[in-house]
């Protein structure tokens, strides 16, 4: 493989990888996820209390619980991908580190 072509491909991969990581990290930073988790717990508790008292649960409260649940689920899935990338990149770095030593 031509060295300049290999270097360009490596640069392109790094740029693309940074774009993917940036997109995944924007979904929900850890503090925001913790806040949403607390909000979801509070909203769910409120809904349970209303249901126990046989009081109709406002649609807005149900929608809020659904939105928080969806947001958290999406953020958790993105976090799983970030963990996967971290693991894979560690392995790639190990391979690079030993590439000259056979």
Averaged pLDDT score across all residues of the chain = 91
Digit-coded pLDDT (tens) for 38-96:
999 999 999 999 999 999 999 999 999 999 999 999 988 998 999 999 999 999 999 98
pTM for the predicted model, two decimal places = 0.70
pLDDT 10s digits, 9-43 = 999 999 999 999 998 888 767 788 899 999 999 99
pLDDT score for 32? 85
Distance between CA atoms of 14 and 20, rounded to whole angstroms? Answer: 10
Instruction: Delimit the domains of the chain by residue range.
Output: 29-98
Residues in contact with 81: Cβ distance below 8 Å, sequence separation at least 6, in sequence order: 24
């Amino acid at each position: 493989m031509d060295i300049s072509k290999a270097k360009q491909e490596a640069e392109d991969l790094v740029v693309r990888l940074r774009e993917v990581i940036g997109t995944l990290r924007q979904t929900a930073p850890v503090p925001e996820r913790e806040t949403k988790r607390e909000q979801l717990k509070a909203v769910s508790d409120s809904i349970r209390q209303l249901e126990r008292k046989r009081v109709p649960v406002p649609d807005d409260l149900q929608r809020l619980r659904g939105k928080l649940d969806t947001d958290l689920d999406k953020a958790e899935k993105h976090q799983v991908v970030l963990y996967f990338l971290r693991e894979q990149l560690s392995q790639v770095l190990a391979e690079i580190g030993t590439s000259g030593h056979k």
